[in-house]
Amino acid sequence: MKFLEHKGVVSAVDEGLVEVEFVTESACADCKAKGLCGVDEGNKRFVTVPEPMARYFAVGEEVMIGVSERTGMRAAVWAYIFPFFVLLGSLLVGLRMLNWPETTAGLAALGLVAVYYFALFVFRRRIEREIVFKIRKI
């Protein structure tokens, strides 16, 4: 199984949890999945990884955090592909089937995309359980 990985530094250790801080570097320009992971170059990100062996990690230690390629692709579909089809589909229905003016159809399409992202926000805890990060020492 392939993993999409980033190098990070342990910023906190708690019982069963390791918090990792990572900064994306210019290597992301060469990454095949740079458009999928949502990581912007130069931004600091924090990820809390459930780890039963958390006590063996120390603050300041360099680690690799990753997610399976399949999970990364699934996240990309939920975040980018489905909303695109919601936008396009609702725009076409509004324009062709309901004969709405372009402005009305466009605003309705944007409104439905906003509803879609709100639904993702509401169900974020459930979605987070499906996205499992792995951590390993370098």
Query: What one-character-per-residue DSSP string does 82-121 give?
Result: HHHHHHHHHHHIIIIIS---HHHHHHHHHHHHHHHHHHHH
Question: What's the rounded mean pLDDT across residues 95-114?
Answer: 97
Summarize pLDDT for 88-100 with one digit per residue, the tens.
999 999 999 999 9
The CB-based long-range contact list for 7-10 (8 Å cut-off, 24+ gap) reads 7/62, 7/63, 7/64, 7/138, 8/47, 8/62, 8/63, 8/64, 8/65, 9/60, 9/61, 9/62, 9/63, 10/57, 10/58, 10/59, 10/60, 10/61, 10/62, 10/63
Task: List the structure tokens of 107.
Answer: 């605003």
Between 22-31, 109-118, 127-136, the lowest mean confidence (pLDDT) is in 22-31
Domains of the chain: 3-69+132-137 (2.40.50), 72-126 (no CATH)
Vertex 38: Cα angle to 36 and 41 (nearest 5): 115
pTM of the entire predicted model: 0.69
